[in-house]
Amino acid sequence: MTGIPDIADTVGFTARAADIPGSADEKLFELPIVMPYTCGDVNNDDEINLLDILYLIEAVYSGGEAPPYPNAADVNNSGDLNLLDILTLIDLLYGDGAVLDCP
Ligand SMILES: [Ca+2]
Ligand SMILES: [Ca+2]
């Protein structure tokens, strides 16, 4: 198996082993996929704070560098990064405490 997962999930696969005399056995394995980012941690420094909001503003409006894990910045799970993600982060940190929903 190869590739880079873009969603957290569980991947199942069956491994089969056989020997020359003809004996064979197989076993099902499940591999949990854990995403390497924290939702809302736009700059991937293990904290969610004002720097994440500023990073996202720079990326969305000033041609700044894209977030290391764009899905971590898509906090409303809309498929793109825009003002709504920025406002959601502001609400999380300084408002009523928005619930983040990343892909
Ligand atoms: Ca951060
Ligand atoms: Ca979004």
Per-residue confidence (pLDDT) for residue 35, from 0 to 100: 77
Q: How far is the CA of 14 from the centre of ligand 1 (A)?
A: 38
Note the pLDDT tens digit of each residue in 20-57.
999 999 999 998 888 789 999 999 999 999 999 999 99
Q: How far is the CA of 91 from the centre of ligand 1 (A)?
A: 16
Please state, in angstroms and as integers, the Cα–Cα distance from residue 29 to each residue in 3, 16, 75, 94, 95, following that order. Answer: 18, 11, 32, 44, 44
Per-residue confidence (pLDDT) for residue 87, from 0 to 100: 97
Q: Percent of the chain having pLDDT more than 90?
A: 78
19-53: burial string, b at 16+ Cβ within 10 Å, e else? eeeeeeeeeeeeeeeebebbbbbbbbeeebeeebb
Tokens for 86? 């920025």
Note the pLDDT tens digit of each residue in 52-98.
999 999 999 999 999 999 999 999 999 999 999 999 999 999 999 88
Q: How far is the CA of 71 from the centre of ligand 1 (A)?
A: 13
